[in-house]
């Protein structure tokens, strides 16, 4: 169990953007934080009203966005012009190349969203776009998977991403496999993580990388817990 604390995250600060980086990204570099397994980036972005990311390009990357507050106005070179309100997930498969912009269209409210990059196991594929809202059901909800199981977004990688929702004193014990790697990012609340004999507590913005574990227990200590749980090769 390796904990990445909220106050240890890198920060990019501009007039319109505050971005907190769990892993090396852009001008932020930490030698011991160059991703984890195929998880390359996990950014917590706050975008000022009526500003955003201008059109730019990506290639061979699975880019998952999860809107926490506000709304994203998205436009890309594949012809997708859409809005993503809070609670929705977007998966953009860059493939052979895609150009896109992400904008906060609201005049009086900040946009906050998580931007996650996953390295694909299929290169030079056609670009793809998916968008979906999932019911806010207690426990784990599968959001993205390689086979689209349980109506999840289809990811070009042997990885599964789930959203965890727990009220105070609730707990779950996900099935884990020792040969897999796991990463948990806590969005809100206070979460106790037990992996065998190891135990620690995550606060909002913290993350933990787990390797070689045979059991896992996640318990909400305070508030309404929301987290993303990554099952990685």
Q: Digits of tens for pLDDT over the chain (233 positions)?
A: 999 999 999 999 999 999 999 999 998 998 889 999 999 999 999 999 999 999 999 999 999 999 999 999 999 999 999 999 999 999 999 999 999 999 999 999 999 999 999 999 999 999 999 999 999 999 999 999 999 999 999 999 999 999 999 999 999 999 999 999 999 999 999 999 999 999 999 999 999 999 999 999 999 998 899 999 999 99
Query: Across the strands, what pairs with 223?
Result: none
3-state secondary structure at position 178: coil
- Phi and psi based region of residue 7 (left: phi greater than 0; alpha: psi -120 to 50; beta: remaining): alpha
Q: Are residues 182 and 117 in the same domain?
A: no
Q: Are residues 192 and 125 in the same domain?
A: no
- pLDDT reported for residue 206: 98
- pLDDT reported for residue 12: 96
Q: Are residues 11 and 117 in the same domain?
A: yes
Q: Are residues 87 and 167 in the same domain?
A: no
Residue 141 domain flag: no
Question: What distance in Å separates the CA atoms of residue 7 and residue 15, rounded to the nearest whole number?
Answer: 21
Residue 151 domain flag: no
- pLDDT reported for residue 31: 87
- pLDDT reported for residue 198: 94
- pLDDT reported for residue 92: 98
Q: Using a cut of 0.85, tell me whether the model's pTM lies above it.
A: yes
Tally of structural domains, the chain: 2
Domain CATH code at residue 225: 2.60.120.10
Report in angstroms the alpha-carbon separations of 97 from 43, 101, 126, 146.
Answer: 21, 14, 8, 20
Residue 55: alpha-carbon gap to chain centroid: 21
**Residue 49, Cβ density class (10 Å: 0-12 exposed, 13-18 middle, ≥19 buried):** middle
Residue 83 domain flag: yes
Residue 140 domain flag: no
Residue 204 domain flag: yes
- pLDDT reported for residue 4: 93
Q: Are residues 186 and 126 in the same domain?
A: no
The position carrying tokens 């950014």 is 43
Q: Are residues 169 and 81 in the same domain?
A: no
Q: Are residues 19 and 127 in the same domain?
A: yes
Q: Are residues 99 and 211 in the same domain?
A: no
Q: Are residues 17 and 114 in the same domain?
A: yes
Q: Are residues 112 and 212 in the same domain?
A: no
Asked which of 75, 98, 133 is the last residue of a domain, the reply is: 133
Is-contact 106 113, C-beta < 8 A? no
Is-contact 128 77, C-beta < 8 A? no
Asked which of 118, 133, 148 is the last residue of a domain, the reply is: 133
Token pair of 46 as six digits = 């706050």
Question: Could you list the residue range(s) of the whole structural domain that residue 92 is in?
Answer: 2-133
Q: Are residues 172 and 90 in the same domain?
A: no
- pLDDT reported for residue 223: 83
Q: Are residues 177 and 119 in the same domain?
A: no
């Amino acid at each position: 169990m390796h904990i990445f604390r909220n106050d240890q995250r890198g920060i990019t600060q501009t007039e319109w953007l505050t971005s907190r980086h769990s892993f090396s990204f852009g001008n932020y570099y930490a030698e011991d934080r160059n991703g984890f397994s195929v998880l390359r980036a996990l950014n917590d972005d706050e975008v000022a009203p009526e500003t955003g990311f201008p059109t730019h390009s990506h290639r061979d990357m699975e880019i998952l966005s999860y809107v926490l507050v506000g709304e994203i106005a998205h436009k890309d070179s594949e012809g997708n012009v859409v809005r993503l309100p809070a609670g929705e997930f977007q998966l953009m498969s860059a493939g052979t190349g895609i150009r896109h912009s992400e904008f906060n269209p609201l005049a009086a409210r900040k946009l906050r969203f998580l931007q996650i990059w996953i390295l694909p196991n299929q290169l030079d594929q056609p670009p793809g776009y998916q968008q979906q809202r999932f019911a806010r059901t207690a426990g784990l909800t599968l959001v993205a998977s390689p086979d689209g199981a349980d109506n999840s977004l289809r990811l070009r990688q042997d990885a599964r991403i789930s959203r965890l929702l727990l009220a105070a004193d609730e707990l779950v014990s996900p099935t884990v496999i020792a040969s897999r790697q796991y990463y948990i990012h806590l969005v809100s609340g206070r979460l106790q993580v037990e992996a065998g004999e190891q135990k620690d507590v995550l606060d909002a913005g913290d993350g933990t990388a787990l390797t070689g574990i045979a059991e896992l227990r996640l318990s909400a200590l305070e508030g309404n817990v929301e987290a993303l749980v990554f099952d990685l090769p």
